[in-house]
Amino acid sequence: MSLRLGDIAPNFKAKSSQGEIDFYEYLGDSWAVLFSHPADYTPVCTTELGKTASLKDEFEKRNVKVIALSVDNEESHKGWIKDINETQDVEVTFPILADENREVAELYGMIHPNASETFTVRSLFIIGPDKKIKLMITYPASTGRNFQEILRVIDSLQLTANYSVATPADWKEGEDVVIVPAIKTEDIPAKFPKGYTAIKPYLRMTPQPNK
């Protein structure tokens, strides 16, 4: 199955380190980060899950629920979580899906045959409360994810979902944003009372509206 941005994220039921999970029920009205790992007890993934656990407060304040996936079973996950907690000095509180039959991996296109016939690649999906896919990133097995970038993208997605703005290159929370071209210049003062700077007719900057 080939998923694209804007598609509805498929629902599923699966076993996990925290029991059986219905994905949609687990999400409720939250945003979600769903990300896959090639297998349990792999070194890069151990650091990634540790980093995710350490950012628990950051995800919570953005109303984001995290759910990981690996092709091993739930008992293996529980043993791996002990290692993650020990080596990364964290407490993993989010579920890791047990996808032994690779049903979820196939549903989300997480297996790339030219990379591996059996293991999931490092795919990551950000899913909105409307259950639509907002972002997809796929990393090679040798490269760990940048979780500060993931948080940055979530900040951008949540901001641009509520205001008629886009975020420029390397934007971070609190910095100026771009007014979308659909907003006529004469309408800017009413929509953006903090003011704006027109660098070009098509490039108009304004302070972040919710700050």
- CATH, residue 41: 3.40.30.10
**Structural domain includes residue 173:** yes
Contact 82, 36 (CB under 8 A): no
Q: What is the pLDDT of residue 106?
A: 87
Identify whether residues 118 and 191 lie together within a single domain: no
Identify whether residues 98 and 47 lie together within a single domain: yes
Identify whether residues 97 and 168 lie together within a single domain: no
Q: What is the pLDDT of residue 169?
A: 98
**Structural domain includes residue 19:** yes
Catalytic position from the list 27, 45, 67, 98:
45
DSSP 100-154: TT-HHHHHTT---TTT-SSS--EEEEEE-TTSBEEEEEEE-TTS---HHHHHHHH
Pairing of β 177-179 and β 165-166: antiparallel
Rounded Cα distance between 84 and 77, Å, is: 10
**Structural domain includes residue 90:** yes
Identify whether residues 67 and 125 lie together within a single domain: yes
Q: What is the DSSP letter of 41?
A: T
Identify whether residues 25 and 102 lie together within a single domain: yes
Identify whether residues 133 and 196 lie together within a single domain: no
Identify whether residues 123 and 183 lie together within a single domain: no
* Residue corresponding to tokens 């953005």: 62
Q: Which residues of the chain have pLDDT under 70?
A: 1, 112-121
The torsion angles phi and psi of 23, rounded to 5 degrees, stand at: -55, -50
Provide the CATH number for the domain around residue 189.
Answer: 3.30.1020.10
**Structural domain includes residue 211:** no
Residue 71 known to be catalytic? no
Identify whether residues 119 and 67 lie together within a single domain: yes
For residue 174, give its domain range: 163-206
Confidence (pTM): 0.92
Identify whether residues 94 and 48 lie together within a single domain: yes
**Structural domain includes residue 176:** yes
What is the separation of C-alpha 101 from the centre of its chain, rounded to a whole number of angstroms? 24
**Token pair for residue 146?**
């940048």
Rounded Cα distance between 28 and 34, Å, is: 14
Identify whether residues 138 and 45 lie together within a single domain: yes
**Structural domain includes residue 3:** no
Identify whether residues 100 and 133 lie together within a single domain: yes
**Structural domain includes residue 152:** no
Query: Among residues 96, 115, 146, which one ends one of the domains?
Result: 146
**Structural domain includes residue 102:** yes
Handedness of CA 55, 60, 63, 68 (dihedral sign): positive
Identify whether residues 43 and 124 lie together within a single domain: yes
**Total domains present in the chain:** 2
Rounded Cα distance between 48 and 147, Å, is: 8
Query: In the chain, what is the greatest distance between 2 CA atoms, to the nearest angstrom?
Result: 61
Q: What is the pLDDT of residue 115?
A: 47
pLDDT digits (tens, 9 = 90+) for 122-173: 789 999 999 999 999 988 878 899 999 999 999 999 999 999 999 999 999 9
